[in-house]
Amino acid sequence: MPAFSLEPEQTAWCAELRALAADRLRPLADQGEPGRVNRSLVAELGRLGLLARLFTSGAVDLCLMRESLAYACTEAETALALQGLGAHPVHVHGTPAQRARWLPRVADGSAVAAFALSEPDAGSDAAALSLAAEPDGRGWRLTGEKCWISNAPEADVYTVFARTAAGTGARGVTAFLVPADRPGLTGSALDLLAPHPVGALRFDAVPVTADDVLGAPDRGFRVALGTLTLFRPSVGAFAVGMAQAALDATLAHTARRDAFGGKLRDLQTVAHQVAEMALRTEAARLMVYAAATAHDTGAPDVPRRSAMAKLLATETAQYVVDAAVQLHGARALRRGHLLEHLYREVRAPRIYEGASEVQRGIIAKDLYAGAEAGR
């Protein structure tokens, strides 16, 4: 599929998703508590079959879902994405027993999954994580902390990355699948600007065994990077959905708002600002779907494309939403306004799943490696 063109069925599906998000998911989102897991919303995503598609679709379909849901209901988009992020390692690396126990429940929305990589002192530098997995004769005991974990502490199961070999950087990390009811596992919620369910986890000699390992011991960083490479373009799709919602709201507002003897849109400075917003949004969209297509076709430069897509789209969304607020004026600052909501939502994606600075590092490293190899 060309990166710049969607098939008619895909376009129709996106329209259907936007309608579902507005009619069935938005009311459930409004009933939820900001910063908490909305299990009714997750269950409805399961009933609609959207969570199951996380495990049967490629990167392009994931991006289509995230962009379409984000346009009409960012809370639904986030709930879907966090289920995928937490359970994707199980889907790809899990044992038959792990997959049988958790994937059907994640898919129907009866279990909430989470991806536990970041720590208080290991955010952007994920290879520096220090959660210790100490051998105990029957397996390991996990001791330490995780922080900035989506869906924590309310998730039912966590993909947890712990250090099984000291002093080896990324090569000494193992991924474990840890149910929330394991003894010694506790957590607390964090109150953030964005209304996302995010928390911290405390591991006090939490027992895990070989049956809980995802992939191979000491090779867990591959699990993490594979998951992030898939989801980074779709973070860009989330951002594009928010940017498009802000752009459409601005088009409507500037077309009807009276100012200086005409409509706002009649002012050249306003019209050019709106044109710039549209230009950047479309450019970001193209890069997102180019990266997603590269992922689905097995292109060799997927990590760089994924980093570029996330970087451009999240920075673009920040610009577009901020410009939309400016053109709406003080009304956009009122609690409950669409743009007030988007303004709080749009800041976080520039940080999570690799901050913008991390994406620039990935891009530069790949470019210099390619130049040295004569690519």
Task: Tell me the one-letter amino acid at 196.
Answer: H
- CA atoms within 13 Å, Cβ hemisphere of 164: 22
How far from each other are the two terminal CA atoms of the chain, in whole angstroms? 25
Q: Are 10 and 65 a contacting pair, CB within 8 Å?
A: no
Structure tokens, 302: 């997927």
The torsion angle over the Cα atoms of residues 100, 105, 106 and 107, rounded to 10 degrees, is 90
33, 353, 357, 372: the catalytic one is 353
β 185-189/198-208 pair status = antiparallel
Q: Name the residue among 215, 212, 89, 219 with its Cα closest to residue 140.
A: 212
Token code pair at residue 67: 């962009």
Contact 347, 318 (CB under 8 A): yes
Distance CA 266, CA 256 (A): 11
The angle at the Cα of 284, spanning 282 to 285, to the nearest 5 degrees, equals 60
Q: Is 40 in a helix, a strand, or coil?
A: helix
What's the angle, vertex CA 220, arms to CA 89 and CA 225, rounded to 5?
65
* 353 is an active site residue: yes
Active site residues: 353
